Amino acid sequence: MSDHEAFRAEVREWLEANCPPEMRQPVKDEDDVYWGGRNATFKNDAQKAWFEACRDKGYTVAEWPEAYGGAGLTPAEGKILRQEMSRIGARPPLSSFGIWMLGPALLKFGTEGQKQKFLNEIARGEIRWCQGYSEPGSGSDLVSMQTFGEDKGDHWIVNGQKIWTSYADEADWIFCLVRTDKENKYQGITFMLFDMTSDGVSTKPIKLISGNSPFCETFMDDVKVPKSYGEDIPGYVGEINRGWDVAKYLLGHEREMISGAGGGDRTAAIGAAMKRMSGELDAVLRAELAMFDVDALAYSAMGEKFLDEMKAGKGHPAQPNMMKYVGTELNKTRHELMMAAGGSRALEWESEETRGGKPARNWLRTKANSIEGGTSEVMLNVISKRILDLPGA
Amino acid sequence: MPLYHDDDQAMLAETASQFMAEEGAIAKQLRHWRDRDCKDGFGHGLWKQFAEMGFTGMLVSEDDGGLGMGSYEAGIVLEEIGRNLTPSPFLASSVLAATALKHADNNARERWLPGLVSGDHVYTVAIDEGAKHRPETIKTRAEKSGNGFKLTGQKDFVLHGASSDMLVVAARTSGNDDDADGITLFAVPKDAANMSHDAVRLVDSSMATHTKFDGVELDGDAVIGEVDGGREILNAMLTAGRIGAAAEGVGVASGAMDMTVDYLKQRKQFGKLIGEFQALQHRAAHLYSEVEIARAVTMKAAQLLDGGSEKADLMASVAKAKVAKAAGLAVKEGVQMHGGIGMTDEYDIGLYMKRDRALQEFLGDMYYHAGRVADMSGY
């Protein structure tokens, strides 16, 4: 038996012993997702048991080093673990922006002290993070952001406003882009870390066209941000005034995640399901569904090629932008067609039959797909410039 | 199996790319034969060179003197054919007819395959009846006659039919016009009596025929596979042919796109390179995305077919439809972004538009294949 086969057998056995049956059901509601943090509560004992087993095994962040709370798995082992979890339908034991966003940034740019403290807190689900990037006046043109930190020697005094901060009202800490040099656009931003309970921080949830959302506005009014939280634990990631490098790295990482996560929902054909749902399909709708299914199935082949090439270090480095562009546009079309096939039933906003207006709310929510994490227009700019090498793009 | 070329396939791609860019170039082949009003629509010299490269018998088994390669490798060659608009009997002879002959008995394989592999012979297939691809309905009939058959009917869109040494003809030996069963494939030699070709030049300068069978007498040896058992072979031909046509379409799309993106970097208007205008950049970037996806799904379909997957048939239709969409966009955007000179015969971009139009139609267009995806998915 090869090492990988042995590892697979070991993982299988461990999952069998530790993943409760309830945790092998698809995620249905918001509270099925465990986010951790200071004020976290478990929905039930199964959720708690599953999280704790993974935490103790290092499986909340399996590929991080053991010293930082992970299990130190190689990428190949990590893939085996994911395959085995997906085989039994196991839910992620812990979800967080710490795992997805801050963690990768710290692994790349953090000091040893920061890794020891923050990565372990993230891995153990102790601290829940949120991300402070966009501002009301700085969306696609993120680098124009104005939130300002005035240098006071051993700390900054930060004033400004962030927007689209997911779960800011439930997060413990924030990683936040703050301007620290008004003269220098790109080299005048610092990637700061601070506690959301600091004096002067307040949040306000944002209601979307689809209803309630995890998004918030975050206000900073004379917030004191220390430059150090102890020996070798700076209050910022990377260098002062070089936070844009970290932010850019994370944006690339985010697009890669969005495009890499293209599997499942986004690539499935829908025509057959629509026919089952609504009986006869109008001829032109059937035709549109067929054209959509062609696009969706072709995109799924592209997703496979993209991932294969990424793993082998082939493919263009800007390709995630193309995947993000096509995947999100496709998802919007998918929901337009689902609304058309759903008819008046799909319009219901609160009914039990629609589980609280899921079709309509999901349809509206997909309109953000091509805005968040870089708009389609920005993706097209990047493709023009970096892949097609068009002038002055 | 990962969805990119392995080392051997990468080497084949490089060889094919270089060969086609040099020997199969537009000026050397397409324009050369067109401007001389060549009745074949392609050069026999190039076809011999294809044989020397090993292309003609790529899909023929090693036992039969070929290379025993798969649809994926044929797709690599076809993409280069598409990129250079190289006129050749490759798709009809080396993909479609070769796929049919895999199912033929020893005698037939010995009779037909050596000529294909050596590049001395050119073959084609006669499937369509009428202006649209509807292989579900076959009216051409082969009636029992003595020890053989008598073939009556008409086939259309027979690629280089008048230049072919043999035609693989799908005919009905029993049942009604729309029946799935009752089809038999015949290898009809060019000198068969009572067969006549009405040869026509198509928009892309290729040649095709309306071919009439007016009681063509065939002996039993002409049957490929089993009598009444031809539907399965026909389907195998169609799947391989559609994936091949898709691969050629990816090449046409890529060639048109590259030429257009280059032009955006050279042409100046309003004191700027037109590639600086965002209105054109976004369209070019969208086109790039579509072409990439079309290539991925074509590679996937070929991989499925070579792996013997039952999904190959569905993905062949997905690929044919997606490539039609992407290549159609590439040539339309190509002509538009070239502006006035895009309309001139002197510039090559219009030749891409013409080739794409013919290729779209061959073995089913976007509408046919999208409809087929819906049928196969159960809606």
Q: Which CATH number does the domain housing residue B40 bear?
A: 1.10.540.10
pLDDT tens digits, residue range A164-194?
A: 999 999 999 999 999 999 999 999 999 999 9
Q: Which of B282, B299, B377 sits opposite A380 (nearest CB)?
A: B282
Kindly report the average pLDDT of chain B as a whole number.
97
* Residue A263: partners with Cβ closer than 8 Å, 6 or more residues away: A300, A303
Instruction: Convert the pLDDT of each residue in B316-364 to its tens digit.
Output: 999 999 999 999 999 999 999 999 999 999 999 999 999 999 999 999 9
Instruction: With CB atoms and an 8 Å threshold, state whether A305 touches B261.
Output: no
Domain shared by B270 and B252, yes or no: yes
The CA-atom distances, in angstroms, between A304 and each of A269, B39, B70 are: 16, 44, 20
On the question of pLDDT at A330 being above 60, the answer is yes
Q: What is the reported pLDDT for A259?
A: 61
Q: Do A294 and B370 touch (CB under 8 A)?
A: yes
Closest CA to B128 of B53, B209, B60: B209
| Beta-strand pair B166-172/B123-126 | parallel
Is the pLDDT reported for residue A262 higher than 50?
no
Whole-angstrom Cα distance, residue A356 to residue A348? 8
Write out the two tokens for B211: 């071919």
Q: Cβ of A294 and B294 within 8 Å?
A: no
The verdict on B181 and B64 lying in the same domain is: no
Q: Give SS3 for B200.
A: strand
Residue A265 clears pLDDT 90, i.e. is over it: no
Q: Is the pLDDT of residue B248 over 90?
A: yes
Please state, in angstroms and rounded to a whole number, the distance separating the CA atoms of residues A66 and A255: 27
CA A103 to mean position of chain CA atoms? 12
Cβ partners under 8 Å of residue B115, min gap 6: B121, B165
Q: How confident is the model at residue A155 (pLDDT cuts 50, 70, 90)?
A: very high
Considering the entire predicted model, what is its pTM?
A: 0.92
User: Kindly report the CA angle at A26 between A22 and A31, in degrees rounded to 5?
Assistant: 75
Domain architecture of chain A: domains with CATH:
3-95 (1.10.540.10), 129-242 (2.40.110.10), 261-387 (1.20.140.10)
Is residue B1 included in any domain, yes or no?
no
CA distance A8 to chain B (A): 20
Taking residues A363-377, report their average pLDDT: 93
Does the pLDDT at position A258 exceed 80? no
Do B28 and B110 fall within a single domain? yes
Residues 6+ apart with CB under 8 A from B373: A269, A271, A290, A293, A294, A297, B314, B317, B318, B321
* Predicted confidence band of residue A263 (pLDDT cuts 50, 70, 90): very low
Same domain? B278 vs B323 = yes
> What CA–CA distance (Å, rounded) separates B127 from B125?
6
Task: Based on the fold, state whether residues B288 and B211 are members of the same structural domain.
Answer: no
Backbone angles phi, psi at A160, to 5 degrees: 150, -170
**pLDDT surpasses 60 at A97:** yes
Q: Which of A272, A306, A322 has its CB closest to that of B377?
A: A272
The domain tally of chain B equals 3
Q: For residue range B250-272, what is the model confidence (pLDDT) as tens digits?
A: 999 999 999 999 999 999 999 99
Bigger pLDDT: A122 vs B2: A122
Do the bridges between strand B183-189 and strand B166-172 make them parallel or antiparallel, or are there none, so unpaired?
Answer: antiparallel
* B63 touches B110 (CB < 8 A): no
Amino acid A251: pLDDT: 83
Collapsed DSSP state (helix, strand, coil) of residue A249: helix
Question: Which residues are CB-contacts of A319 (< 8 A; sequence separation ≥ 6)?
Answer: A259, A306, A309, A310, A387
Q: Reduced to 3 states, what is the DSSP secondary structure of residue A271? A: helix
Q: Span B162-174, mean pLDDT? A: 98
Residue A303 pLDDT > 70 = yes
Q: H or E stretch including A321?
A: helix A319-342
pLDDT at residue A94 in the model: 96
Q: What percentage of residues in chain A have a pLDDT greater than 90?
A: 85
| 3-state SS string for A22-52 | HHHCCCCCHHHCCCCCCCCCCCCHHHHHHHH
d(Cα A384, Cα A366) in Å, to the nearest integer?
A: 25
Same domain, B139 and B200: yes
Residue B2 included in any domain: no
Residue of chain B whose Cα is closest to the Cα of A381? B282
pLDDT level of residue B52 (50, 70, 90 thresholds) = very high
**What's the domain range around B17?**
7-121
Residue A186 to chain B, least CA–CA distance (Å): 23
Mean pLDDT in chain A? Answer: 93
Q: Which of B74, B98, B121 is the last residue of a domain?
A: B121
pLDDT of residue A393: 52
Query: In degrees rounded to 5, what are phi and psi of residue B334?
Result: -60, -50
Asked whether residue B187 falls in the same domain as residue B223, the answer is: yes
Q: By mean pLDDT, which of A129-133, A181-185, A210-214 is the weakest?
A: A210-214
Q: What are B171's two structure tokens?
A: 């005919």
Interchain contact, A275 vs B373, CB within 8 Å: no
Whether residue B294 lies within 8 A of chain A, CB to CB, comes out as yes
User: pLDDT tens digits, residue range A64-93?
Assistant: 999 999 999 998 899 899 989 999 999 999
Q: Does B257 touch chain A (CB under 8 A)?
A: no
Residues B216 and B335 in one domain: no
Tell me, yes or no, if B107 comes closer than 8 A to chain A by beta carbon.
no
Contact status, residue A125 vs residue A36, Cβ threshold 8 Å? yes
Task: List the end-to-end C-alpha distance of chain A, in Å, as a whole number.
Answer: 53
Is B373 in Cβ contact with A290 (below 8 Å)? Answer: yes
CA dist., res. A280 & res. A266, Å (int): 24
Q: B54: buried, middle or exposed (CB in 10 Å: 19+, 13-18, 0-12)?
A: middle
Half-sphere exposure of residue A318, counting CA atoms within 13 Å on the CB side? 15
Give the rounded distance of the alpha carbon of B242 from its chain centre.
7
Same domain for B366 and B262: yes
